Amino acid sequence: MTIKLGTIIKLKRNEKGFSQKELVNNICAQSMLSAIENNKYVPNAQLSIRLCKRLEINLNEISLADNYAVSSNEQFNKQVEYLCNQHQYFELKNYLESNNSNLKSAEQLQAYYYYLAVACLQTGELKTAEQDLKLSLAESGSKTFQSLTY
């Protein structure tokens, strides 16, 4: 079972002893955090990053443990998992960008942009990481994958 972002934020907030009001100070409304923690609202990339930063959560803690399938090619997925787990983020970014033709579903596209965002974040490309994370979150509501555009 995959633990959702809202659940992770709530657990980490409680672990750190923050009230909802303390956590959201100068970030968002308390009611929005409540909706996020109850997995009724998926925050945009900027809000996710701000909440995670305040809670000292990095993207690896959120869901890399799930090792999302990027492709139907198992060898490709194993290589992505290996590079990520070895913290070889430059290599991961290059590997993803040069091998993105196997993406066939919205879930695979979401995982692709998620891993690409992690790689960009870890290599200091913060603007690109934010854009990729937004694309990943946007794909979470998609039913089919039409085309990959840059």
CB 105 within 8 A of CB 145: yes
- Start-to-end Cα distance in the chain: 32
Integer Cα distance of 58 and 85 in angstroms: 14
Q: Indicate the domain borders of the chain.
A: 5-57, 67-139
pTM for the full model? 0.53
CATH 3.10.129 fits 67-139, yes or no: no
Fold of 5-57: 434 Repressor (Amino-terminal Domain) (1.10.260)
pLDDT digit string, tens, across residues 80-118 = 888 887 888 999 999 999 988 777 777 788 888 888 888
Considering only CA atoms, which of 3, 1, 2, 9 is closest in space to residue 43? 9
